Structure 1
Amino acid sequence: MATGRVVPSICLFVLSCFFLKVFNGTIAATDTLFHGQVMRDSESVRSADNTFELGFFSPGSSTKRYVGIWRINVPSKDVVWVANRDNPFSGSSQLVLTINDDGYLVIVDSRMTYRVSDDPSSQNVSATLLDSGNLVLRNENFDILWQSFDYPTDTFLPGMKLGYSRKTGKVWSLTSWVDEEDPNIGDFEVRMDRSKSHEVFLMRGSEALWSTGAWDGVRFALMPEMRLNYIFNYSIYSDENETYFSYALYDPSIITRFIVSVSGQLKEFSWLNTSQEWVLFWAQPRALCDVFNSCGPFGSCSKQSESCQCLRGFYSSERGIGRGQSGGCTRRMALNCGIGDKDRFFRMDDVSYPLSSTEQSNSSYSSLSGPEVSNRDAKACELACLNSCSCTAYAYNKSGHCLKWFGDILDLQQLSGKDPDGKTIFIKLSASEFDSSGGAKKFWWIIVIAVALVVLLPASYIVSQWRKSLKNKETGEADTSQDILLFDMEMSMTSSSEFSGSDKLGKGRRKDAALPLFSFVSISVATENFSLENKLGEGGFGPVYKGKLLNGQEIAVKRLSKRSGQGLEELKNETMLIAKLQHRNLVRLLGCCLEQGEKILIYEFMPNKSLDAFLFDPNNRGLLDWRTRVRIIEGIAQGILYLHQYSRLRIIHRDLKASNILLDSDMNPKISDFGLARMFGGDELQANTNRIVGTYGYMSPEYALEGLFSIKSDVFSFGVLLLEIVSGKKNTGFYHSNSLNLLGHTWELWKEGRAPELMDPSLEEQVSYPVLLRYIHVALLCVQEIAADRPTMSDVVSMLTNELTVLNSPKEPAFSSARSAINNPNQHASRPELCSVNNVTVSLMEPR
């Protein structure tokens, strides 16, 4: 902002006092401060629409007084501009804001005068606070002589500029506060770089920490969330006089806040009236490792732990290195550079290449081919760096290029071992950093560990089997330690007679229905004779147990209850279908058991239970961060798409719900419980049934009311699931006086432009608002009342993963209100049989 001028003077004070006496000391309730009026410390000026207020304030617990502008319609004082951020005043009864005889906007107290505005070049001046939050000084012709928008502090309001003027040299930039109680200029600045066309940088002094990337006409290259937004209209203007970035709101009634925080993050918020809080729309850089050179020279930033570590052979230049230390790391032992022992290289895997000075060259053997030549290329690259004193690291990539780094290694990031973008780099260290005896020590440790494993593992196995044998003898049971799985046996699942009381397998076998057969004894041993301690849960099918096979594999055992009047048809159906399906997002059926009148299915064990155990449990909900929820959503969508389109059969699941989505050890989703699923022929689009089975809240209207089901039935269920995952709420709850369920509640928020309020509060500051709104939009398209209006799962996957996919406007969801539930235009006069909710769930499990 403009540099204020402080003029301490007794004469000036006397003149100021005379000035205050001549012109009455209060201002009228208006948006304008006229020449000759004063605004005292306890008074203020408000914009015409009562959106913004100009007055004196003290940030936090500070006693210092500042003149600032803040929003009126939010409870906490949201200061968007500070006039005297570099020169606060102490509280005084004489403290006023006024326009002096020279036309300057000034702050005056008993000690000094602080000039806020530049030379107005006019005598008859007034100051008006506009509805935009811009304070403007104007002459009698209403020409703008000065405006606060030309001197932004830490907040970027709609209509402000972020850029520069070629004509005047003026720069419009944002600067952070020092801390929450000191609005003076802090460490961070957001500005455009004249040398980099249409690109905004986050700076710390002269050091660039982060960049938006270049403008492509719609968004900045490194900010994909800008394309997926329903609130902000971003733009860049450039001509021969000036270049600047600006934005407006599609809906002016929306309250937003765009700031550069004291910690150096750009954040954009939206205000939610219902919850009376700011909700983060997006933030950049999102994490420590996204800030350029956050760990300093020769430090590496871990993407997993968001912390800094010094490279091997280096120590912290500061007292500690953890969250981020710009001082970086210092080499422990100087490089020899050809003197004495040669330097050597330390290999680092799974990294992103540093951004410091790099030289790329092709190997002299690039015209040849073969593994031997490739090895020579890599060796030549190593020698080239070794023989250069200034070379500090090298890499030989898959393209046959030798990359060399010189001087400080900056912005090196340590990625996870599973990251496909991970690369390998070799850091040059002094030969003294390598212990020559280290290899021998490592070799002997390997031998010791190997011997221990060879001796201890068989011994522990023998002891465990001996104990089981003793236990079986005490209970009168046979020794089952040698009972193994009969993986080479096949069974036919093509007739219901094979699921009768007989223990014999049917003879009409089909190779494509082959499934491993477990003996009952082996399953009994695995579950410790179906003990209560191993019981995971029980549903309409029967109990489910956790088990452990002799080879150590954990399993989930679903046992058909002999007293159950249901489940027999579902067992046959599930076995037939799931045995033919192979997809990473479908639970894997390992085999079955049909001995001694038992009907048992054996599945892979899912250690993280089902989705509902996390989603609807207040104690566990926080474990589902936004990235995990996105992975679950996309995994479920891919699994359903496989069932509908890419499996050998077209399969309708008919019972998609949160409790039927199981989570593996990495929180990846797997669809389970195919007992209610139905197989379609290649040309079939829908079918009809008189037996409605499923779970209310997830059933589509045409299925629940007419018995019609199709792939669009699963799409409806997925839409319900998507809303539940985003909100953390069950569909069957009541959320609004006019809403029957979550669908109706979502629809009301969507119509009123308050869809972000649906977000689970535990996701605060994790969610990109454009992505959140897109997911809600897709969910509403999936739960539309008429099946033909809903997208296919292929469309859904495209809409979720491709930000360029255009979304249609959704229609009102089914069952969203009492009216839509009762007056369904497609409802037939005669309804099929409706089964109760207790009779439609195949299984309800706790942890698997």
Structure 2
Amino acid sequence: MDTKSNPKFGFNILLLCLFLKSHISLASDTISADESLSGDQTIVSAGGVFELGFFKPGNSSNYYIGMWYSRQLVSLETIVWVANRETPVSDRFSSVLRISDGNLVLFNESNTPIWSTKLASTTTSGSAQAVLLDSGNLVLRADGSNASTSEPLWQSFDHPAHTWLPGARIGFNTVTNQTLILTSWKSSEDPAPGLFTLELDPNGSNAYLIFWNRSRQYWSSGAWDANSRIFSRVPEIRLNYIYKFSYVTNKNESYFTYSVYNPKTISRFVMHTSGQIQQLTWLEISSKWNLFWNQPRKQCEVYNLCGAFGSCNEVSTASCNCLTGFEPKSEIEWNLRAYSSGCSRITNPQYCNTAATGAKYRAPDVFQEIRFMSLPENNQSVVVGDISECGSICLNSCSCTAYAYDSSTGCSIFTGDLLNLQQLGTGERSGTTLYIRLGSALPLIKSVNANK
């Protein structure tokens, strides 16, 4: 047969090559001692549920070792776990993930280890292999051990990122001093640990989940009712036909875990960059993730979401806006809806600057009037006769950045960065007028002269 004159032969060869390429990269769920992963190579769990390899988030130039749902199940790239969250690589083809001295280790372009399972040599005396399970758990086992009966040497379920998968745990172990928490990404293009975390009550006195912005708690699920199997502040769980929650506690550990009633359901919890926990379920018909519920329900309940001098607004298209006279410290981060860096002044106040130089004339700063605001934290109450005296006191104190006055509560002075601001609706009675100190060069609404 003349193969050159047979177009079907060439087409069949092309299909065979494409199949072999796919077969080479997707056939195995294991990285053994004599194997490695680099470039576009991946491993896939035995049932084809999860895939692990290098990925690049959004428009970032960095690459990470991550785990995502197989594209055969979820058409949208959905990362559920990241190994090297704080140490990305720039070239995935010259970086490699392999077994080294009984550990799973990621080496960068310079062949420098930048991430590892960090097991002691006494734990990994023999060779090991990494296996990706259909549960989304990446486990490191002693080579030749029984996968169904032996305890893993290391597992990704003990090192969660921002996603809580069915079968994984949120809690702590008092013996190993290990805490299992969810931590948000820094932004949609940076999987480094962000500000927001979800964890089990660290005191152990109550079974409930709490949210933190660094060291500040801003929401809790309420106590766990073992009989009704619900959290008191999450009534949606009562109607939840998807998940079955369980709470386990003993002298060694305490944790929450959950399963799905229908094993074919693809669902997950995510500690989002917004500071909210989201329950999402994949809808195959519409090829999108459906948000079943999220907490806290209101975005502005997330503590200090907008950073210093940023104001949260529930009805605005953008959750955060800088106060008048301020601009985002990082335009790139704000465009990604990561607002924690806050805002900086466009023009610095002049009054204290001229006072420091000994100038005879000190240009009065102006105060921007912003109505229907929640007041910042750490206010200092001052006894005054009227609003003019309140403003003068603030103006003559170089550390004062804002003031507020109400006939019933009196004068409040605020110093330093203004945190946790919220723009309230016109019908909300708790709203107060806040006066923000700005430079004298800006043509603003209300000014207070030091000589008044």
Q: TM-score, normalised by structure 2?
A: 0.63
Match in the other structure for 1:112: 111
Which string of whole-angstrom CA distances, capped at 9 and with x for unpartnered residues, describes residues 274-317 of structure 1? 22222223345667644433444455444433453536xx6558
220 and 425 in structure 1: CA distance in 2 versus 1, 3 angstrom threshold: farther
Work out the CA distance in 2 between the residues paired with 1:194 and 1:425: 39
Match in the other structure for 1:517: none
Amino acid at match of 2:223: D
Q: Does 1:269 align with 2:253?
A: no
Question: Residues 33 and 98 of structure 2 are in contact (CA less than 8 Å); yes or no, is this contact kept in structure 1?
Answer: yes
Match in the other structure for 1:259: 270
358 and 163 in structure 1: CA distance in 2 versus 1, 3 angstrom threshold: farther
What are structure 1's unaligned runs of at least 5 residues?
A: 1-25, 362-376, 438-848
Amino acid at match of 1:159: G
Correspondence for 2:154 among 139, 146, 150:
146
213 and 95 in structure 1: CA distance in 2 versus 1, 3 angstrom threshold: closer
Match in the other structure for 2:343: 327
1:226 Cα offset (Å): 5.1
Work out the CA distance in 2 between the residues paired with 1:134 and 1:387: 60
Work out the CA distance in 2 between the residues paired with 1:349 and 1:429: 15
Match in the other structure for 1:215: 222
Correspondence for 1:407 among 415, 427, 444:
415
1:52 Cα offset (Å): 1.9
131 and 379 in structure 1: CA distance in 2 versus 1, 3 angstrom threshold: same
402 and 129 in structure 1: CA distance in 2 versus 1, 3 angstrom threshold: same
Work out the CA distance in 2 between the residues paired with 1:386 and 1:62: 48
Work out the CA distance in 2 between the residues paired with 1:105 and 1:111: 17
Work out the CA distance in 2 between the residues paired with 1:429 and 1:78: 44
Work out the CA distance in 2 between the residues paired with 1:134 and 1:393: 53
SS of aligned partner of 2:342 = coil
1:147 Cα offset (Å): 0.5
1:118 Cα offset (Å): 1.9
Q: Does 1:352 align with 2:374?
A: yes
1:144 Cα offset (Å): 1.9
Correspondence for 1:134 among 129, 132, 137:
137
SS of aligned partner of 1:68 = strand
1:82 Cα offset (Å): 2.8
Correspondence for 1:231 among 242, 252, 276:
242
1:225 Cα offset (Å): 4.7
Match in the other structure for 2:68: 70
285 and 40 in structure 1: CA distance in 2 versus 1, 3 angstrom threshold: same
Work out the CA distance in 1 between the residues paired with 2:330 and 2:392: 32
SS of aligned partner of 1:257 = strand
Question: Residues 288 and 307 of structure 1 are in contact (CA less than 8 Å); yes or no, is this contact kept in structure 2?
Answer: no
95 and 227 in structure 1: CA distance in 2 versus 1, 3 angstrom threshold: same
Work out the CA distance in 1 between the residues paired with 2:414 and 2:141: 56
1:132 Cα offset (Å): 1.1
Work out the CA distance in 2 between the residues paired with 1:425 and 1:315: 18
Match in the other structure for 1:585: none
Aligned pairs (5 A) from 1:547-566: none
Question: Residues 378 and 396 of structure 1 are in contact (CA less than 8 Å); yes or no, is this contact kept in structure 2?
Answer: no
405 and 238 in structure 1: CA distance in 2 versus 1, 3 angstrom threshold: farther
Aligned residues: 383
Normalized per residue, the structure richer in helix is 1
Question: Residues 392 and 448 of structure 2 are in contact (CA less than 8 Å); yes or no, is this contact kept in structure 1?
Answer: no
Work out the CA distance in 2 between the residues paired with 1:310 and 1:211: 23
Work out the CA distance in 2 between the residues paired with 1:216 and 1:178: 29
Match in the other structure for 2:91: 90
Work out the CA distance in 1 between the residues paired with 2:209 and 2:259: 19
Work out the CA distance in 2 between the residues paired with 1:309 and 1:96: 43
1:435 Cα offset (Å): 6.0
Bigger CA radius of gyration: 1
Aligned pairs (5 A) from 1:444-455: none
Which string of whole-angstrom CA distances, capped at 9 and with x for unpartnered residues, describes residues 599-629 of structure 1? xxxxxxxxxxxxxxxxxxxxxxxxxxxxxxx
Work out the CA distance in 1 between the residues paired with 2:391 and 2:61: 59
Correspondence for 1:292 among 303, 306, 317:
303
Match in the other structure for 1:644: none
Question: Residues 214 and 221 of structure 1 are in contact (CA less than 8 Å); yes or no, is this contact kept in structure 2?
Answer: yes
Amino acid at match of 1:417: T
Which string of whole-angstrom CA distances, capped at 9 and with x for unpartnered residues, describes residues 543-597 of structure 1? xxxxxxxxxxxxxxxxxxxxxxxxxxxxxxxxxxxxxxxxxxxxxxxxxxxxxxx
Work out the CA distance in 2 between the residues paired with 1:110 and 1:415: 51
SS of aligned partner of 2:164 = coil
1:360 Cα offset (Å): 8.1
1:129 Cα offset (Å): 2.2
1:273 Cα offset (Å): 1.6
Amino acid at match of 1:46: V
Match in the other structure for 1:200: 210
171 and 350 in structure 1: CA distance in 2 versus 1, 3 angstrom threshold: same
SS of aligned partner of 1:144 = coil
Work out the CA distance in 2 between the residues paired with 1:426 and 1:108: 53
Work out the CA distance in 2 between the residues paired with 1:383 and 1:37: 75
Which string of whole-angstrom CA distances, capped at 9 and with x for unpartnered residues, describes residues 820-845 of structure 1? xxxxxxxxxxxxxxxxxxxxxxxxxx
Q: Does 1:50 align with 2:63?
A: no
Work out the CA distance in 1 between the residues paired with 2:26 and 2:425: 63
What are structure 2's unaligned runs of at least 5 residues?
A: 1-23, 356-361
Work out the CA distance in 2 between the residues paired with 1:104 and 1:384: 64
SS of aligned partner of 2:157 = helix
Aligned pairs (5 A) from 1:798-817: none
Work out the CA distance in 1 between the residues paired with 2:60 and 2:389: 61
33 and 316 in structure 1: CA distance in 2 versus 1, 3 angstrom threshold: closer
Higher relative contact order (CA 8 A, sep 6+): 2
Match in the other structure for 1:597: none
403 and 60 in structure 1: CA distance in 2 versus 1, 3 angstrom threshold: closer
Work out the CA distance in 1 between the residues paired with 2:96 and 2:261: 38
SS of aligned partner of 1:274 = coil
Q: Does 1:172 align with 2:172?
A: no
Q: Does 1:310 align with 2:319?
A: no
Work out the CA distance in 2 between the residues paired with 1:393 and 1:146: 54
Question: Residues 212 and 222 of structure 1 are in contact (CA less than 8 Å); yes or no, is this contact kept in structure 2?
Answer: no
SS of aligned partner of 2:163 = coil
Question: Residues 390 and 411 of structure 2 are in contact (CA less than 8 Å); yes or no, is this contact kept in structure 1?
Answer: no
Which string of whole-angstrom CA distances, capped at 9 and with x for unpartnered residues, describes residues 620-679 of structure 1? xxxxxxxxxxxxxxxxxxxxxxxxxxxxxxxxxxxxxxxxxxxxxxxxxxxxxxxxxxxx
Aligned pairs (5 A) from 1:692-707: none
Question: Residues 360 and 402 of structure 1 are in contact (CA less than 8 Å); yes or no, is this contact kept in structure 2?
Answer: yes
Work out the CA distance in 1 between the residues paired with 2:52 and 2:436: 59
Match in the other structure for 1:99: 99
281 and 201 in structure 1: CA distance in 2 versus 1, 3 angstrom threshold: same
More displaced stretch, 317-326 vs 408-417 = 317-326
Instruction: Please give the root-mean-square deviation of Cα atoms over the aligned residues, in Å.
Output: 5.1
SS of aligned partner of 1:80 = strand
Q: Does 1:417 align with 2:426?
A: yes
Work out the CA distance in 2 between the residues paired with 1:229 and 1:353: 37
1:194 Cα offset (Å): 4.5
Question: Residues 222 and 233 of structure 2 are in contact (CA less than 8 Å); yes or no, is this contact kept in structure 1?
Answer: no
1:260 Cα offset (Å): 4.0
Q: Does 1:248 align with 2:246?
A: no
385 and 234 in structure 1: CA distance in 2 versus 1, 3 angstrom threshold: farther
Which string of whole-angstrom CA distances, capped at 9 and with x for unpartnered residues, describes residues 334-391 of structure 1? 599xxx9x9999976533343x114689xxxxxxxxxxxxxxx996999899879678
Work out the CA distance in 1 between the residues paired with 2:268 and 2:250: 28
Which string of whole-angstrom CA distances, capped at 9 and with x for unpartnered residues, describes residues 466-520 of structure 1? xxxxxxxxxxxxxxxxxxxxxxxxxxxxxxxxxxxxxxxxxxxxxxxxxxxxxxx
Amino acid at match of 2:111: M
46 and 422 in structure 1: CA distance in 2 versus 1, 3 angstrom threshold: same
Work out the CA distance in 2 between the residues paired with 1:300 and 1:33: 48
